[in-house]
């Protein structure tokens, strides 16, 4: 490697920005480490801070195919790893029965029949009948891929155990066929919303990145990148307002994705200035619980005034 | 350089960040590629490799800043010949300070620390003691005396170059030693004091734990409840209906020439314990009530099919109050609503039976938390019998010591006749044992 790690991390930051993903140094470092060490990376953080998007952008940046596996309760190996083509297998056994006659024709005695049967090529469990699912697909992909295992916390603990072999050795054991090893190791990204504690065994095999809510500066950059139409003063006010809301005690805090949605809404409404009425009318874009909306409604005047004040201060500077 | 890393990992473990050997190896290979030069980069990288929860990340950041704080200060070399009064100084330490290299100085600090038995450091309050001890062993006393003499023997106002230099070096040395002690404390001490506190809490009688430690004890109880619930709630049973597991069916029937004869089903049923908890919050268990409620609260958090009841005389359900509530609010509310009155187990059992006897089946576990002190009222033990007959098992947790059972108005024996098992449960250690038994058998 001729380039120092610092340069590569900078390149990643720039490359990601080109695809509309503004990442902090921490995120860029994590991506660098994941590709350098060839280790899976587990991303945690509140919903809507761009965990899934990170994998998407990584796929674009590294110019690799993106393979996504959405986890849910009850997900098992037949949907995640591989499956046999049962219909075809059943047909095969039917054909086999007919063919058997030909194979055994003229054989004398039990022993000879058995010998012939043994020589007969059996393809019941073979590649031909193997249906690949996302995980196996990611391993067999020739050009390498970015494998996103989304919301791994939603899956059962059994599935987690299933992932261990893939994540540490980049291989899958198929009992009938043996071990399939990846030629080109995929970049694996796992995301979790922490709805349940992920097992230590899984955590140990991964790098761990925690993405918190962004600070005002980063969030402004993100809004700028995602909604470039927005005026600068409006963008500052929106971000300040959202940052203010995050200080409150709410059921679900608005994340970056909500800020972006809100910015788009404001553009759609052709508003130039953030005021109490606009905030109140569009609050449901930002907050997803009626209780939260009630709480924030009371605080709107204070939030709006502080948001516009600080933005005035900034623009004077 | 690997020594630095392993020491750092040790310090991390001391401040309660769990780092496995495999992760340490990862860290070594990471450092190979990023190097030690850029401290910020190093911090970000190691944080990704070594700490695996938001909580651990905070601890990691604090620990990293502490551990890598001492930047090696560049020593300004002084031209010895220019110092006229060099011959007045003859203590070893002074010579070392003036002539010795940084490495030698660090070495002598380490030697002195060894002599001062730095390994014995446990608590952060001991830092200053150890710093002083190390400085003494290095001979700071003698140097200070000499400096005093230098100061008193001089004629002009300004201190000589030598004196100035020595004083600077001495301040430097003090800082160096104090940093060293801090580092050693991170390595050997109980940094967060958590282990000690946990140990004490666990064996202390619940009634004697101060209320201000409620949160600490709660996290302890919750940790325990969660661990145990995880351990015991994973048993699964195969369903006899639902979705066909085609893969398994075909494989099982391959021997039947592909005729699907024996069917297998895809869904597995997770068996979770169904638990009813009745908690006494009357005056006689006043001191324990808070902790029994805390236990009840923690259980509600980890076991989904749990209903909780509290009573002094009349029984009230608190299941919904406890869900989505904060610990102290929930407990206050329960105590306010039901607590403090005089005990009537007879009435409470009557209420319980009329409320939910129909729901009790042979998979249900009933847990009663209380001291069985019934104010000489009718105990109505036959109700216990009914509950026992309908349920899978009945546990009674008594916070009082065994020697006090059946004394005064306690009617423990009357009730315990109808309990599957009776536990004494006065501290967290005992509670842990009880919960383990409970979850093992409640399934």
- Residue A286's Cβ-side half-sphere holds a number of Cα atoms within 13 Å equal to 28
**Among A43-47, B201-205, B235-239, the least confident range:** B235-239
pLDDT band at A189 (very low <50, low <70, confident <90, very high): very high
CA distance B24 to chain A (A): 10
Report the distance separating Cα B186 and Cα B136, nearest Å.
22
End-to-end CA distance of chain B: 52
* Closest to A292 in 3D by CA, of A247, A250, A241: A250
What one-character-per-residue DSSP string does B112-180 give? HHHHTTGGG--SGGGHHHHHHHHHHHTTHHHHHHHHHHHHHH--SSSPPHHHHHHHHHHHHHHHHHHHH
What pLDDT, on the 0 to 100 scale, is given for residue A69? 92
Residue A155 predicted with pLDDT over 90: no
Alpha helices in A146-215 (DSSP H): 157-169, 200-205
Q: Taking residues A132-138, what's their average pLDDT?
A: 89
Chains A & B: contacts with CB separation below 8 Å = 72
pLDDT tens, position by position, A80-93: 888 888 888 888 88
Chain B residues within an 8 Å CB radius of A5:
33-35, 41
The contacts of residue B232 (CB under 8 Å, 6+ apart) are B273, B439, B440, B442, B443
Report the distance separating Cα B171 and Cα B167, nearest Å.
6
DSSP state of B82: G
Burial B14-26 (b: 16+ CB within 10 A, else e): bbebebbeebbeb
Give φ, ψ of B269 to 5 degrees: -95, 130
Mean pLDDT estimate for chain A: 85
Nearest by CB to residue A157, choosing from B38, B45, B234, is: B234
**In chain A, which residues touch B (CB < 8 A)?**
1, 5-6, 9, 25-26, 29-30, 33, 36-37, 39, 41-42, 44, 74, 76, 78, 83-84, 86, 89-90, 93-94, 97, 124, 157, 197, 200, 203-204, 206-210, 212
> Quick check: B396 and B416 in contact, CB under 8 A?
yes
- Please give the C-alpha separations between residue A45 and each of A31, A51, A68, A189, B122, in angstroms, as whole numbers: 16, 8, 19, 14, 35
> Quick check: A249 and A217 in contact, CB under 8 A?
no
Nearest by CB to residue B41, choosing from A5, A36, A86, is: A5
Report the distance separating Cα B4 and Cα A82, nearest Å.
45
Report the distance separating Cα B16 and Cα B52, nearest Å.
12
Residue A46 predicted with pLDDT over 50: yes
What pLDDT, on the 0 to 100 scale, is given for residue A314? 47
Give the percent of chain A with pLDDT over 90.
15
**Interface predicted TM-score (ipTM):** 0.80
Sign of the Cα pseudo-torsion (B188, B193, B195, B196, in order):
positive
pLDDT band at B72 (very low <50, low <70, confident <90, very high): very low
What pLDDT, on the 0 to 100 scale, is given for residue A1? 45
Residue B440 predicted with pLDDT over 70: no
Secondary structure class of B306 (helix, strand, coil): strand
**Among A46-50, A240-244, B88-92, B107-111, the least confident range:** B88-92
Residue B442 predicted with pLDDT over 70: no
What pLDDT, on the 0 to 100 scale, is given for residue A251? 80
Q: Kind and range of the H or E element at A311?
A: helix A290-316
Q: Taking residues B284-303, what's their average pLDDT?
A: 76
**Partners of B238 in the β-ladder:** B268
Are A33 and B257 a contacting pair at CB < 8 A? no
The answer, for B25 touching chain A at a CB cutoff of 8 Å, is no
Are A36 and B45 a contacting pair at CB < 8 A? no
Give the percent of chain B with pLDDT over 70.
77
- A117 versus A148: the higher-pLDDT residue is A148
CA angle B343, B348, B351 (to 5 degrees): 155
Residue A100 predicted with pLDDT over 60: yes
CA distance B290 to chain A (A): 26
Taking CA–CA distances from A82, the nearest residue in chain B reads: B247
Nearest by CB to residue A37, choosing from B22, B30, B35, is: B30
Taking CA–CA distances from B302, the nearest residue in chain A reads: A196
CA distance B255 to chain A (A): 11
Report the distance separating Cα A106 and Cα A295, nearest Å.
88
Report the distance separating Cα B14 and Cα B374, nearest Å.
48
Mean pLDDT estimate for chain B: 77
Secondary structure class of B395 (helix, strand, coil): strand
What pLDDT, on the 0 to 100 scale, is given for residue B194? 64
Give the percent of chain B with pLDDT over 90.
0
The answer, for B257 touching chain A at a CB cutoff of 8 Å, is yes
Calculate the CA dihedral of residues B152, B154, B159, B164 and round it to 10 degrees.
-70
């Amino acid at each position: 490697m001729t380039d120092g790690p610092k340069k590569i991390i900078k390149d990643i930051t720039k490359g990601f920005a080109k695809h509309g993903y503004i990442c902090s140094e921490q995120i860029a470092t994590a991506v660098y480490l994941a590709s350098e060490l060839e280790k899976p990376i587990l991303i945690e953080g509140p919903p809507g801070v761009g965990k899934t998007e990170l994998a998407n952008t990584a796929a674009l940046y590294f110019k690799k195919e993106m393979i996504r596996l959405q986890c849910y309760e009850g997900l098992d190996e037949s949907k995640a790893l591989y499956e046999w083509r049962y219909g075809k297998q059943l047909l095969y056994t039917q054909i086999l029965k007919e063919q058997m006659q030909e194979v055994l024709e003229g054989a004398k005695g039990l022993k000879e029949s058995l010998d012939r049967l043994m020589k007969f090529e059996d393809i019941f469990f073979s590649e031909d009948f193997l249906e690949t699912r996302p995980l196996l697909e990611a391993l067999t992909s020739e050009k390498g891929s970015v494998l996103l295992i989304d919301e791994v916390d939603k899956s059962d603990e059994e599935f987690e155990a299933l992932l261990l072999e893939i994540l540490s050795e980049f291989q899958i054991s198929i009992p009938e066929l043996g071990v399939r090893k990846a030629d080109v190791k995929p970049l694996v990204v796992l995301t979790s919303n922490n709805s349940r504690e992920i097992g230590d065994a899984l955590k140990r095999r991964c790098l761990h990145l925690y993405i918190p809510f962004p600070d005002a500066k980063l969030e402004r950059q993100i809004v700028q990148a995602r909604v470039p139409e927005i005026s600068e003063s409006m963008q500052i006010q929106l971000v300040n307002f959202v940052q203010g809301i995050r200080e409150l005690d709410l059921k679900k805090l608005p994340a970056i994705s909500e800020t972006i949605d809100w910015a788009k809404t404001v553009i759609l409404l052709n508003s130039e200035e953030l005021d109490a009425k606009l905030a109140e009318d569009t609050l449901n874009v930002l907050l997803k619980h009626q209780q939260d909306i009630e709480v924030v409604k009371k605080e709107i005047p204070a939030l709006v005034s502080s948001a516009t004040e600080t933005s005035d201060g900034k623009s004077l500077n | 350089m690997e020594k630095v890393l392993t020491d750092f990992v040790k310090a991390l473990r001391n401040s309660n960040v769990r780092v496995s050997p495999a992760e340490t190896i990862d860290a070594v290979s990471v450092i190979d590629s990023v190097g030690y030069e850029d401290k910020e980069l190093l911090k970000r990288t190691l944080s990704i490799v070594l700490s695996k929860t938001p909580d651990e990340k905070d601890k990691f950041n604090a620990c990293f800043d502490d551990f890598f704080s001492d930047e090696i200060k560049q020593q300004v070399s002084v031209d010895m010949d220019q110092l006229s009064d060099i011959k007045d100084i003859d203590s070893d330490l002074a010579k070392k300070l003036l002539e010795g290299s940084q490495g030698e100085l660090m070495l002598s600090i380490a030697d002195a620390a060894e002599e001062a038995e730095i390994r014995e450091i446990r608590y952060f309050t001991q830092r200053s003691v150890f710093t002083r001890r190390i400085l003494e062993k290095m001979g700071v006393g003698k140097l200070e005396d000499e400096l005093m003499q230098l100061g008193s023997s001089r004629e002009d106002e300004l201190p000589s170059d030598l004196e100035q230099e020595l004083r600077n070096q001495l301040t430097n040395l003090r800082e160096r030693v104090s940093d060293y002690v801090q580092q050693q404390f991170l390595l050997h001490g109980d940094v967060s004091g958590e282990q000690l506190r946990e140990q004490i809490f666990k064996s202390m009688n619940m009634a004697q734990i101060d209320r201000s430690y409620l949160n600490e004890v709660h996290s302890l109880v919750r940790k325990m409840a969660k661990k145990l619930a995880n351990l015991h709630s994973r048993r699964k049973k195969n369903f006899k209906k639902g979705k066909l597991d085609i893969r398994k069916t075909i494989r099982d029937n391959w021997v039947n020439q592909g005729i699907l004869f024996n069917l297998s089903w895809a869904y597995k049923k997770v068996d979770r314990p169904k638990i009813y908890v009745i908690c006494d919050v009357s005056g006689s268990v006043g001191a324990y009530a808070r902790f029994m409620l805390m236990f009840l609260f923690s259980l509600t958090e980890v076991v989904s099919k749990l209903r909780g009841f509290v009573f002094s005389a009349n029984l009230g359900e608190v299941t919904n109050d406890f869900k989505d509530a904060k610990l102290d609010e929930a407990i206050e509310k329960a105590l306010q609503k039901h607590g403090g009155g005089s005990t009537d187990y007879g009435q409470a059992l009557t209420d319980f039976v009329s409320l939910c006897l129909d729901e009790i089946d042979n998979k249900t576990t009933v847990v009663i938390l209380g001291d069985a002190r019934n104010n000489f009222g009718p105990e109505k033990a036959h109700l216990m019998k009914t509950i026992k007959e309908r349920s899978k098992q009945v546990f009674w947790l008594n916070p009082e010591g065994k020697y006090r059972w059946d004394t005064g108005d306690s009617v423990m024996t009357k009730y315990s006749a109808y309990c599957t098992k009776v536990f004494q449960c006065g501290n967290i250690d005992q509670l842990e044992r009880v919960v383990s038994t409970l979850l093992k058998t409640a399934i």
